Structure 1
Amino acid sequence: MAQSDEEEDYMTMTFEEPKESKHETSLQRAARMRKEGEARSRQKSKAEREAEAEAAREASLATALPETNKGFKMMAKFGFKQGGTLGKSENARKEPIRLNIKEDRSGIGLESEKKRKFREAWEKSEREAKRSKEDQGDFLQQRRQQQKEKKAERDLDNAQRTAERLSEQEAEEKGSAHTDEKSLTDINVLWRCRARRRVEHQRDRRQRRELDNGLASRLPTYVEEDEDNDSKLALGRDVAPFYTSLENELEEEDPELAEFEALPVTERLQKLLVFLRETYKYCLYCGHRYPDAAMEGCPGVTEEDHD
């Protein structure tokens, strides 16, 4: 039996959504009350409370006074209209002054105190930085001065050695006495300290040798009256004191050398450089002995002239 055209196919059947009930069921009421209770019991955070207060404040400031407001009615008696200005001037302020809410709990004037402390700390740090820079500059200047003095001492030693060598060559050419054969006071004071150091070094070596080799002479020994000197020496009974050389070679004072050594190293170096140029036509920094006093080709006396 064939189906009629009016009969609907089950594949094309549609189902209508159930309409919401106008009445609240007991389950819905219980769920709603549970949600409301949870919302009431939940503590709002500080940020949320501040945001709500800020929103309420902005909303109240953005809302004009209603005509039913008591304050508005009092101003209306004096001729105020909504959107107008207070007073007779038309250029007066139409909107109220914005509130500047103090949100922190600090006292009045604390902000200026913080600014003062910040300014003092900044000034202190600036002074310390300036002092540190000055100290660093002084330290660098001292280092440069020390290096300059050490360089001058090396140049002074080279100049003294050169002057002594040229003086010995001149003495050999003239056939006069050698430097080691002269008395210390007869040597030029410009390089006398070198000869003095050699004499002191030789004296120290001789004294050390006497101290090492004369151990028996330092000990008390029994000496027979009729014993000859050869027997005393053979038996180590030399009773001569070991400090004989110390007594015989006491250093003599040299005020001229002391006065020269008291001068600054740069001044002593300058005297030696001038002496070498005037006496031997020799320039320490050129390292050359010129044939005449004009010293043609030499830029000057000091090292700075040769830079």
Structure 2
Amino acid sequence: MEASQSPKAAPQSPEDEEDDYMSMTIAEPTGPKVKETYTQRRHRLKREAEARAYTKPKAEREADEAAAREDALQRSLLSHPTTQKSKGLAMMSKMGFTPGKALGKGDNADARTEPVGISIKEDRGGIGMDNEKKRRFREEVEKEGKRVKADEGEYRERVRREREEGRLEHLIGTAMRVAERMASEKEEELSAGGDGEVAPKKDDRISKPLKTINILWRGLVRKREEAERDRRMRYDLHQSLSRLPTYDDEDEDKDDKKALGKTPIQYALVEDLEEEDPELEEFNALEPVERLQKIVNYLREEYNYCFWCKYTYPDKDMEGCPGLTEEDHD
């Protein structure tokens, strides 16, 4: 009897002997469920009640609302699933609107392809208030720009006018001195009697009242007299302060005191310097151009002298003089 031969099992490789952890299943515990104690249940219910009763602070609620609002504003309503059932979109579709396309002709590149976005107002201003504020701001900026330009123009004009007035005042002073000199020379000739003798020169500052001087150069004489008076007063004050005190000698007479310099110098003051001169004030109130023209005309009529040519012509015709004004001599 042949012994029965059992099939031999195939040898297993080392890889097959390793456990396949990826296909392993973890069995659920079959043991009895641990019963929750009273204390554990009480703590759990307490935590759940506290969670339900918890109210977020105002700042946290506002932050959550702002985040939700920003998320909603950033999300396109046309692509949102809930928008497909929107009555507004259905109405726009009936009017010819297709998402992603503009209304009207398709050749307009600047046409709007989406509805106007939502602008959240954060103040109490009504509709259009922002545009009104922008308009007012632009008007204020333009007004300020115009004012600055106007101020610059006024400044340049004022500087130009002041320079021109200074130049004219200098010309008026020169013309006054010329007229005074010619009038003085003419008076000397008349006082000589035409016999060729030159009369001794008089001091007009002392002997001649101001109101008898021609109005055209009276202001020059008055200014010179005032300057001379102030100079004399300063000189007298300086002399009185620098002179040493001396005793009064009874034996000295007036001639001795005068020789020793103890007699104060007496000057002939021009009394009418303190008086008002309405005629001179009226003349000085004229424009510099008008005052200068009056003096120029006087020199031409009285002495055949052209102030602009700096020349005395032999007769009244003044042949060769281009004209009466400075522009004629340019």
Q: With structure 2 as the length reference, what TM-score do the two structures score?
A: 0.54
Given the alignment of the two structures, is residue 113 of structure 1 paired with residue 135 of structure 2, yes or no?
no
User: Residues 159 and 272 of structure 1 are in contact (CA less than 8 Å); yes or no, is this contact kept in structure 2?
Assistant: yes
Mapped partners of 1:273, 1:61: distance in 2: 97
Residue pairs, 1:164-179, within 5 angstroms: 164-176=180-192, 178=201
The answer for unaligned runs of 5 or more in structure 2 is: 1-19, 25-66, 100-113, 193-198
Cα gap change, 1:129/1:229 in structure 2, threshold over 3 Å: closer, same or farther? same
Whether contact under 8 Å (2:168, 2:289) holds in the other structure is: yes
> Which residue pairs with 1:190 in the alignment?
216
Equivalent residue, structure 2, for 1:228:
252
Which deviations, in whole Å up to 9, do the C-alpha atoms of 1:86-111 show, x marking residues without a partner? 9xxxxx63547965452646479766
Q: How many residues are matched? A: 237
- The CA RMSD measured in Å over matched residues stands at 4.5
Specify whether residues 113 and 292 from structure 1 end up closer, same or farther in structure 2 by C-alpha distance, changes over 3 A only: same
Q: Distance in 2 between matches of 1:206 and 1:94?
A: 104
Matched, 1:251 2:274: no
Match of 1:122 among 131, 135, 138: 138
Q: 1:300 aligns with which of 311, 323, 326?
A: 323
Are the structure 2 counterparts of residues 301 and 179 from structure 1 closer, same or farther at C-alpha, using a change threshold of 3 Å? Answer: farther
Q: Would you say the 8 A contact 2:304–2:315 is kept in 1? A: yes
Contact 2:218 2:280 in 1 (8 A): yes
2:173 equivalent to 1:157: yes
Instruction: Tell me which amino acid in the other structure corresponds to 1:187.
Output: I
Matched, 1:210 2:236: yes
Does the aligned pair in 1 maintain the 2:175–2:292 contact within 8 Å? yes
CA distance in 2, matches of 1:194, 1:217: 35
Aligned to 2:118: 102
Change in 2 beyond 3 A, CA 1:60/1:105: farther
Alignment of 1:1-307 (within 5 A): 25=22, 53-54=75-76, 57-58=78-79, 60=81, 93-95=95-97, 99-102=115-118, 104=120, 106=122, 112-176=128-192, 178=201, 180-181=203-204, 183-185=208-210, 186-215=212-241, 221=247, 224=250, 227-229=251-253, 233=257, 238=262, 242=264, 244-245=266-267, 248-252=268-272, 253=275, 255=277, 256-307=279-330
Consecutive unaligned residues of structure 1, counting only runs of 5 or more, are 1-22, 28-44, 66-70, 72-84, 87-91
Contact 1:278–1:293, Cα closer than 8 Å, also in 2:
yes
Percent identical across equivalent pairs?
Answer: 32
Q: CA deviation at 1:154?
A: 0.8
Contact preservation (8 Å) 2:299, 2:305: yes
